[in-house]
Amino acid sequence: MFDWSKQVILLTGGTGSFGQAFTQYLLKYHSPTALRIFSRDEFKQYEMQQRFQHPCLRFFIGDVRDPERLARAMDGVTLVVHAAALKQIVACEYNPNEAIKTNIIGTMNVLNAALDAQVERVLGLITDKAVSPINLYGATKLCMEKLLIQGNSYHGKHRTAISCVRYGNVANSRGSVVPLFRKQKETGTLTITHKDMTRFWITLEEGVKFVVRTIETMQGGEVFVPKMSSFKIMDLARAIAPEAKHRFVGIRPGEKLHEDLINHHEAINVVELADHFIIKPGNVFWTKDKRLTAFDGKTVVADFSYNSKTNPHYLSILDLQKSLEKLF
């Protein structure tokens, strides 16, 4: 049984949308021994410190690009939640070097520091953009996932377990379309990339709960994918601003019309459970250890894929309105 009260947690990207929601949930339901918030922005850390004011919180100003600072922050840590990343698609396309330094090299630094510190569990947050990537952000997150999962081969006798979660766009997170549409609603016109675009839908709270449950059940090597509903971008626009006009601006560089969470090439390693999928690694470290083979799920068909367009579960305009009401 996983005991949250005994955990010393390092949360990279801790002042971001996920980091703040994860912190709020943990302090409410699972107060750990210590929760170390690791991020670059001292003002956001100050704001977060004023907001939560909890004795278990520690604030480390640092960058995942800095291995020495990570090593210091990792001392005594039992659990790492790696959420730090540059995630704006257009910014990553324009600044590829910076995206690689943070998302790929930064993840290498987190992994190495965790292995050296003999951390018990490491969980990385991945995005649907990492599946069949067509933009640099997605490619860096794919590299991040590969680095972390393969890191299970290097833990040696210390048994550090490393897993990842993949999920889609988080509703109302910083930089998402929901706050953009809400702001544009005041002007009477919403800018829409393409009328046929679809996306997966998950709220911050749902994402946090999934991460918490994954941490409690992970064994190392898995990629966990929650089952989610899809939505049409036009339906979201109508749910937020039913009277607004629409101006179509075209798909941005590196953007997909529909998103994938699992592609058919991965199907051979996919296990389906009631409310999520698990992608098992094809690595030797998985098959040699019997503790990593037991899942109460079923295998999927050979050409299985999980795509926002072909997903059978869609949110209606009314569903979206009800979900949005809970966010605001």
Instruction: Indicate the domain borders of the chain.
Output: 4-168+203-226+266-305
Residue 287 pLDDT:
58
Residue 294 pLDDT:
47
Q: Determine contact, residues 207/167, Cβ cutoff 8 Å.
A: yes
Task: Round to whole Å and give the CA distance between 127 and 226.
Answer: 12
Task: Round to whole Å and give the CA distance between 11 and 265.
Answer: 32
Residue 154 pLDDT:
86
CATH 3.40.50.720 fits 4-168+203-226+266-305, yes or no: yes
Which residue is associated with the tokens 């990343």? 85
Residue 295 pLDDT:
62
Residues labelled as active-site residues:
129
- Taking 70 as the pLDDT cut, the residues of the chain under it are 175, 283-296
Residue 246, H or E segment: strand 245-248
Please give the single-letter amino acid code of residue 311. N
Task: Round to whole Å and give the CA distance between 150 and 117.
Answer: 18
The strand pairing partners of 298, in sequence order, are 272
Please give the single-letter amino acid code of residue 131. V
Residue 192 pLDDT:
93
Which residue is associated with the tokens 């002007």? 187
